C-alpha cells in the first residue's frame, strides 16, 4: 500500500487533515468567515478557468447559445489558426512574440532598477529639492496615460529612436508607483545600519546591493510583477512609435486579429488562443512571486 501512494499524496492528505482540525478549533464566526473566503476564492478563480477553457473551444462552441463554461470537445485548432494567419505575410507571429519577449525583459529590468535606485536616493539621501521631486512623482500618478501621449511622441521622435527597441523601452522606464512603494520600504531600513556600513568602508553601491535590496525584496517582487504586466500587455509603443511591422509586439498583433473584418465570427478562435497566450505569463510570474506580494501587502497594512 505504501508503494502505490506517492509522497505528495500523503502530504496533501495530512495537509488537508491539519487544516480541517484547525478550522474545527475556530468559533462559529471564524468558521463562517473561512467559508466565505473559500467561496470567494472559488468565485475569483472562475475567470481563469474560463480563459483556459475558451482557448480550446472549437468554433461551434464559441458561438453556442446558451454559452458553455467548460469546453466539451477540446481542440488545438485555435492555436494552429493563430500561427497560420501570418504564414502569407511578411512578418510571422514568431517575430511579434520575440519582440514582446525582448521588450518585456528590458522594460521590466529598467523599471525595477531605476525605481529602486530612485527610491533609495530619495529615502536615504537629503539633497536640495528631494521633497519637491518626490512630490512631483506622486503628482504624476494623477495623470492619465492619454494626457502625456503627445509629449512622449515628440520626445521619442526628437531622440531618433523610432522603430527600435529603445523606442519601446524608454517610454515605459518611469514607474511612479514603483518608486513610491519601494521608498516606503526603504524608509524602514535603520539609518544606523547604513552609517555602520559606511564606517566599515562599504561603497554606496555596496550598501544598496548588500543591505537595502535584501530588506526590500518583497516590494521589488511586487513591482516586478506590475512592471511585467505593464510591459507585456503594452500596445501603445507599437501603435505610436513603430512604423515598421517587424518591430511591433504581440499585443499589437492580437489587437489586429478581429479588427477591420466584415463579420464578427472570423478569427474568434485565434483571438481566444491569443488571449490565453497573453494571460499565461502574467499568471506564472504572479504564482512564482505571490509570497513576496503577500508580504508587501502585510507590511503596508502594518505600517
pLDDT tens, residue by residue, 145-200: 778 888 888 999 999 889 999 999 998 898 888 898 899 889 888 888 888 888 88
Closest among 192, 226, 205 to 120, alpha carbons compared:
205
| pLDDT for residue 54 | 83
pLDDT of 262: 45
User: What pTM does this model have?
Assistant: 0.78
- Separation of alpha carbons 100 and 234, rounded Å: 9
What's residue 62's pLDDT?
78
Q: What is the pLDDT of residue 298?
A: 55
Q: In this predicted structure, what is the pLDDT of residue 114?
A: 93
Residues across the chain = 303
Residue numbers of the chain with a pLDDT score lower than 50? 1-4, 13, 262, 301-303
DSSP the chain: -TTTS-HHHHHHHHHHHHHHHHHHTS-HHHHHHHHHHHHHHHHHHHHHHHHHHHHT--HHHHT-SSPPSS-SS--SHHHHHHHHTTTTSSS-HHHHHHHHHHHHHHHHHHHHHHHHHHHHHHHH---TTHHHHHHHHHHHTTS-GGGGHHHHHHHHHHHT-TTSHHHHHGGG---HHHHHHHHHHHTTS-HHHHHHHHHTT--HHHHIIIIIHHHTHHHHHHHHHHHHHHHHT--HHHHHH--SGGG--HHHHHHTSSTT-SSSSTTHHHHHHHHHHHHHHHHHHHHHHHHHHHHHHHHHHH-
Q: How far apart are CA 271 and CA 65, in angstroms?
A: 19
Query: What local confidence, expressed as pLDDT, does residue 109 receive?
Result: 94
Rounded Cα–Cα distance for residues 92 and 275 (Å) = 18
pLDDT at 200: 86
Do 240 and 167 meet the contact criterion of CB atoms below 8 Å apart?
no
How far is the C-alpha of 76 from the C-alpha of 248, rounded, in Å? 26
Cβ atoms of 115 and 134 within 8 Å: the answer is no
- Between CA 158 and CA 7 the distance in angstroms is 61
- What is the pLDDT at residue 1? 39
Q: Give backbone dihedrals phi and psi of 213, rounded to 5 degrees, phi first.
A: -60, -45
Amino acid at each position: 500500500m505504501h508503494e502505490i501512494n506517492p509522497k505528495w499524496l500523503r502530504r496533501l492528505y495530512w495537509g488537508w487533515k491539519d487544516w480541517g482540525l484547525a478550522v474545527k478549533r475556530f468559533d462559529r464566526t471564524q468558521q463562517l468567515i473561512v467559508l466565505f473566503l473559500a467561496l470567494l476564492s472559488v468565485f475569483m478563480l472562475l475567470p481563469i478557468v474560463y480563459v483556459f477553457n475558451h482557448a480550446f473551444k472549437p468554433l461551434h462552441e464559441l458561438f453556442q447559445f446558451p454559452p458553455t463554461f467548460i469546453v466539451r470537445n477540446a481542440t488545438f485548432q485555435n492555436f494552429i489558426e493563430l500561427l497560420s494567419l501570418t504564414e502569407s505575410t511578411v512578418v510571422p507571429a514568431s517575430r511579434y512574440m520575440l519582440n514582446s519577449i525582448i521588450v518585456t525583459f528590458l522594460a521590466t529590468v529598467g523599471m525595477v532598477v531605476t525605481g529602486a535606485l530612485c527610491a533609495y536616493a530619495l529615502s536615504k539621501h537629503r539633497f536640495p529639492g528631494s521633497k519637491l521631486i518626490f512630490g512631483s512623482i506622486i503628482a504624476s500618478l494623477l495623470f492619465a496615460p492619454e494626457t502625456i501621449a503627445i509629449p512622449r511622441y515628440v520626445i521619442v521622435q526628437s531622440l531618433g529612436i523610432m522603430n527600435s527597441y529603445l523606442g519601446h523601452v524608454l517610454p515605459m522606464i518611469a514607474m511612479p508607483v514603483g518608486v513610491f512603494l519601494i521608498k516606503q520600504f526603504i524608509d524602514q531600513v535603520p539609518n544606523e545600519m547604513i552609517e555602520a556600513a559606511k564606517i566599515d568602508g562599504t561603497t554606496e553601491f555596496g550598501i544598496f546591493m548588500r543591505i537595502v535590496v535584501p530588506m526590500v525584496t518583497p516590494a521589488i517582487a511586487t513591482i516586478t510583477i506590475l512592471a511585467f504586466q505593464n510591459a507585456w500587455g503594452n500596445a501603445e509603443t507599437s501603435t505610436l512609435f513603430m512604423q515598421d511591422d517587424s518591430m511591433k509586439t504581440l499585443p499589437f498583433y492580437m489587437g489586429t486579429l478581429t479588427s477591420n473584418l466584415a463579420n464578427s465570427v472570423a478569427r474568434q478562435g485565434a483571438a481566444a488562443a491569443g488571449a490565453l497566450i497573453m494571460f499565461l505569463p502574467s499568471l506564472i510570474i504572479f504564482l512564482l512571486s505571490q509570497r513576496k506580494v503577500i508580504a508587501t501587502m502585510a507590511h503596508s497594512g502594518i505600517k
